[in-house]
Structures are given as structure tokens and as C-alpha cells.
Amino acid sequence: MSSTVPVFLESASTTTTGGWKASAAVIMNERGAVISLTGNEANDLRKIQRAGRQLDNLGINAVSLQGDSWNLEQQWAFAKGFTDTLSKNKITWANHEQQLNLLQKHANWVRELINLPPEAIYPEALAQRVADKLTELAPAAISVRKVVGDELLAEQRMGIHTVGRASVKPPVMLVVDYNPSKDPKAEVDTVLIGKGITFDSGGLSIKSSEGMLAMKCDMGGAATVAGALGYAIEQGLNKRVQLVLCCAENLIDGRAYKLGDIITYKNGTTVEIVNTDAEGRLVLADGLIYAAEVNAKHIIDAATLTGAAQVAVGTEYNALFSVDDDYAQQALASAAANQELLWRLPLQPWHRDNCPSAFADTANSRPQKGGGAGGASNAAGFLLRFAPNEGAGWLHFDIAAAYHGSANGMCAAGATALGFRTIAATLLN
């Protein structure tokens, strides 16, 4: 067998298993690796992804997908499985090379950003990496603005500053304006907002050591929306879209924000802090206020926001929240068309009042573990307070499947990049 392993798709009725169990995701024989298909599309895509994982686990680092039976989604399912954490494995595609190379390029970039250690991807570094990458893709259509450290106070971006002020590495609000028309008065079609907490200790509501270990991934929302914009640009996005990344390290020193503190936002909303580990919604609020200021038609935010979303949908789905049924259905259709698992969870206008405070308009959570029952919906309800137009044209992705602390039968350890295709497709729709 050559150093590059050929991989074939076959119908289950024609596969010779030899000494392998018929249920095996992949069978090795003298031809190479064979994946036996059942004819059920959803099951077969999962089986193909599991086959990719098994080949990676065997120590294989280069494959060639053989034959005309591979379609684009089957090849991408294989690629999601046949991906080591550092994205070193090599795949020769059977067809659709241009589209698959583009997908792989942006998925690997999203995964790289999330997997980098926090010392390498602090707020200013994240903002700079994203600004450089997007400018490289469309230099004539991109402008960049960064609001850093105490400059945030001058612009009343109180959530980002409050969460990030205890770190020696200053918080940042990054605004990337993609304006292909170059008309400064062009309508902003969509504002993308990403939670960019580059490390989350939990603040004074400190996490356990094991709970903190993976918290370099807490900027997964920022990486996901940045990757979505880059992917959409390379697919011919012709609408004005602004990217807002709300970047901070949630750490502890004498300046750290405290339980009982009250933040007054630029729009006048007051928020009592009852849990400093419910910080993502505090920074996203600034992004939503910004989106209202530029009169965006649509707003999409993405965040590794709540453990409650992961409890609800597991680690293979992302969660979607919206009070705009038409826009939510559009996102769900985009997810289905791009084979990304997405599930809509409850959100009603009354969820805005589910974190009450006697001292402010709202608290940032409930003073219970995980925010109590319905924690993911209550967090989305908090954000709904800041979404313009009563939430019309707004989608909130709680990306529960963004990161796996250890490898499993479907994915390598680390970031998955799940969600960037859905958001890009929603932008392009």
C-alpha cells in the first residue's frame, strides 16, 4: 500500500467484509479503505465521518478519495472526521476540488483561531489576526476600526470594558466593514457579532480547574462569524456586512468587576452582576447596541454562551434562538442544506424578564448554578433586551458544538468549526 491511502465508497450489498465486522465504519483490504453505504443519507454521512476518524486513529495522514460516486457533502463529511487537531492530514479530493479547498481553508482557519493557546490569542491578537485575514481577502472593500482599552469608556462600550478591565491585556472592540459598493452611505445589510472572550477564568465566580482548561475556546463565536464572513466574501458576497468582535479576557485582579456591581449601558439599560461567569452576554450587548446604531437590517450573533445549551442539544448540534420566525426558518434551512446540525430552542419576549433584579433593569443571570432552569433561553432573553426592533431580523447562535475537550468517534480534539457554513449561507441568501 502506498503512503497515500485510497478510499472508496461502495454499496453495502457489494462490499466484501473479509475478516471485518459488517458494522465497521471502514474496511481495510488490498485496495485500500472501503466505506460501505446503506442508502440512508443522514446515516451514511455520519458513517463516512466516523470512517475518517478511524483512519486518522490508525495513524494515516494522507488519503485519496477514489471514484465518481463521491459527492461534495460526502467528501466534506469525510474531511471533518479525517482531521487531526493541528489540521496536518492531507486529502486528495475525488471532485469538487475548488469548493472543497475553499471550505477546508476557512474551516481550518476557524479551528486554528480557537485552538491557539490563550497567550497567543489575547484580545488585540485576535482582532489583528481577523482584520489581517479579511483585509487580505478583499483589500479594496474592507475597512477596519479597533477600540482598545479605555477608549471603550469614551465610546460607552461598557460591557466589553467591564469584563476585560482586570487583564493586563486590554479589551478590544473590532469593527470590520465589508462594503463592496464602496459607497459610505450604503445600507448595512447584516451585522455579525462574535463573543471574543479569549480566556474565561469565570472572574470572581471562578471556574474549577477542569472547567477552566478548555476556556481558550470561549472566543469560538468570534472565530465562527469571522470565518463565515471570509467564506461568504470568497463566494461573491455583494452586500455590505459589518463584523463586530467583542474581545476580552475575563480574569481576576483588584480591578475585576464584582457581584452586585451595576453596569449602565450606552442605551441606558442597567444590569446587576449576579455571576461574573455570565460575561459573554455582557460583551455581546455592546455589539447589539452598535448594530442598532448603524440601522442594520439583519443581526447575527454567535457565542459559546451557555452550558445549558449543550445540556439541551448535546455536543453535535448548535442551538438557535430568535423571535423572528421567518429569519429563524431561513437559518434552519441554510443549516440543513449545508449538513450542519442546528436546533431551535425556545425564546419568547417574556424571557427578557427571567433574570430579575431589585437594583437594576435586569440581572445578568440568576444566582443559581448554570443560571437555573431554562438558562440558555434566559441568556438569549437577556440579549433580546438589546436587540433593536424588538428582535425582528435578529438571530442568536449558542454554539454548543464549537469545541470538544477530547477526541471522540466523530471529531478530533479541539475546535470543530461547526456553524460557519450556516451563517455564511444565511448571509448569501
pLDDT tens profile 56-85: 999 999 999 999 999 999 999 999 999 999
**Residue 211 domain-assigned (yes or no):** yes
Q: Measure the CA–CA gap between 124 and 363, rounded to whole angstroms.
A: 29
Q: How many domains does the chain have?
A: 2
**DSSP structural state of residue 206:** P
Using pLDDT thresholds of 50, 70 and 90, give the confidence band for residue 1: very low
Residues 157 and 40 in one domain: no
CA–CA dist 410, 197 (Å, integer): 26
Q: Reply yes or no on whether the pLDDT at 13 is more than 70.
A: no
The CATH number that applies at residue 154 is 3.40.630.10
133 given a catalytic annotation: no
Examine the domain organization and report whether 128 and 35 are in the same domain: no
% of the chain beyond a pLDDT of 70: 98
Claim to verify: residue 89 and residue 117 sit in the same structural domain: no
pLDDT digits (tens, 9 = 90+) for 309-357: 999 999 999 999 999 999 999 999 999 999 999 999 999 999 999 999 9
Q: How crowded is residue 328: how many other Cβ atoms within 10 Å of its Cβ?
A: 19
Q: What is the pLDDT of residue 135?
A: 98
pLDDT > 90 fraction of the chain, expressed in percent and rounded: 93
Task: Evaluate whether residue 100 is within a structural domain.
Answer: no
Q: Which of 95, 130, 149 is the last residue of a domain?
A: 95
Same domain? For 204 and 298 the reply is yes
Which pLDDT belongs to residue 377? 98
Last residue of a domain, one of 29, 61, 95: 95
Residue 231 lies in domain:
109-428
How many Cβ atoms from other residues are within 10 Å of residue 95's Cβ? 14
Q: What is the DSSP letter of 267?
A: T
Taking the model in full, what pTM does it have? 0.97
pLDDT digits (tens, 9 = 90+) for 267-298: 999 999 999 999 999 999 999 999 999 999 99
pLDDT grade for 265, boundaries at 50, 70 and 90: very high
Residue range 161-207, pLDDT digits in tens: 999 999 999 999 999 999 999 999 999 999 999 999 999 999 999 99
Instruction: Count the residues in the chain.
Output: 429
Q: Does 103 fall in a domain?
A: no
**Residue after which a domain boundary falls, among 28, 62, 95:** 95
Asked if 83 and 125 sit in the same domain, the reply is no
Evaluate whether residue 236 is within a structural domain. Answer: yes
pLDDT of residue 370: 77
Residue where the block lists cell 462569524: 225
Q: Are 258 and 204 in contact (CB under 8 A)?
A: yes
In a domain, 388, yes or no: yes
The type of residue at 9 is: L
Mean pLDDT score of the chain: 96
Q: For residue 67, which phi and psi values (nearest 5 degrees)?
A: 95, 170
Same domain, 411 and 372: yes
Q: Band of the pLDDT at 2, cuts 50, 70, 90? A: low
Asked if 10 and 136 sit in the same domain, the reply is no
Question: pLDDT digits over 199-228, tens only?
Answer: 999 999 999 999 999 999 999 999 999 999
85 plus 230 within the same structural domain: no
2 backbone φψ class: left, alpha, beta (φ>0; ψ -120 to 50): beta
Q: Output the pLDDT for position 20.
A: 79
Shared domain check, 114 and 48 = no
In a domain, 218, yes or no: yes
Residues 86 and 116 in one domain: no
Q: Are residues 400 and 266 in the same domain?
A: yes
Q: Catalytic: which of 46, 146, 207, 297? A: 207
**Within a domain: 202:** yes
Beta partners for residue 178, in sequence order: 142, 241
How is residue 207 annotated by DSSP? P
Decide if 71 is inside a domain: yes
Q: Residue 316: its pLDDT value, please? A: 96
Residue in 157, 165, 281, 352 annotated catalytic: 281
Active site residue 281: yes
Quick one: pLDDT at residue 393?
98
| Segment (H or E) for 50 | helix 41-57
Does one domain contain both 91 and 118?
Answer: no
Task: Write out pLDDT tens, residues 117-128.
Answer: 999 999 999 999
Residue 21 has what pLDDT? 81
